[in-house]
Amino acid sequence: MNILDKIVIDKRKEVALRKSLIPLKQLETSVLFERSTISLSERLKNSTSGIIAEHKRRSPSKSTINQNLNVQDVAKGYEDAGVCGMSVLTDGKYFGGSLDDLLLARASCNLSLLRKEFIIDTYQILEAKAYGADVILLIAAILTKEEIKQFSELAKSLDLDVLLEVHNLEELQKSIMPTIDMLGVNNRNLKTFEVSLETSKTLSNHIPDDFVKVSESGISSIEAIKELQPYGYKGFLIGENFMKTDNPGESATKFIKDLAGF
């Protein structure tokens, strides 16, 4: 059993509990449920940097990254840096995040916000909308083709962008459908945790041009972005690189400035 399998088992229990505590009606009457969303895919198409910066306290592969920062400061810092969007981890057990982080980020900035979560139930998509997300993440490795279709259709009906994450060609082939906006290639091998940009390069030819291509994991240098841009990648998800510093916003500002001058 790999880490993803363990997370999904725990996530099913967690979602069942949340559903019993907060009924759908309550989510649908939330103030944020009616807000107009900010399209991350459109922002990436029109950006020169394509940076999606992450708020992440810890991860299964790196344990603690940074527990000392508050979400508001990180969100404001990223917005000032000029990132295209912000990814907010909402998983508690493995990443130290929560839906409150999403809420606080939403109150602090006008960035397009991605709810970074292991979505296995439509309930979580309605939660994402109610807590101020603009984008949801769907992970092909944990979903069937039918679930990807059902979840992405629901997201589009709520005016949410969909970033679909794949690790290999098999996952990619089952995921290509019109309700997906962005296809994200995760460069991390879930069995070994090793990271290789070759994954993004190899899969790039198989991603139709209708989708915005996003590369995830292992992007810690300007060189990595320059290496991937010729393969058609417009989005680059950067988590630990900024979060492991004392001031993620400042780190992102410097990174984007250096990227522009490279």
Q: Which residues are catalytic?
A: 54, 56, 116, 165, 186, 216-217
- Give CA–CA dist 202/168, Å, rounded: 9
Q: How do strand 63-64 and strand 85-89 relate by DSSP bridges? A: unpaired
Contacts of 228 (CB under 8 A, 6+ apart): 197, 200, 201, 215, 219, 236
Count CB atoms within 10 A of the CB of residue 7. 20
- Give CA–CA dist 13/134, Å, rounded: 25
- Give CA–CA dist 46/44, Å, rounded: 5
Are the C-beta atoms of 238 and 53 separated by less than 8 Å? yes
Q: What string of DSSP letters covers 3-19?
A: HHHHHHHHHHHHHHHHH
In the chain, the DSSP E strands lie at: 51-55, 58-59, 63-64, 85-89, 112-116, 135-139, 161-166, 182-186, 212-216, 233-238
Are the C-beta atoms of 2 and 190 separated by less than 8 Å? yes
> Which of 140, 215, 213, 214 is closest to 174 using CA atoms?
140
- Give CA–CA dist 262/257, Å, rounded: 9
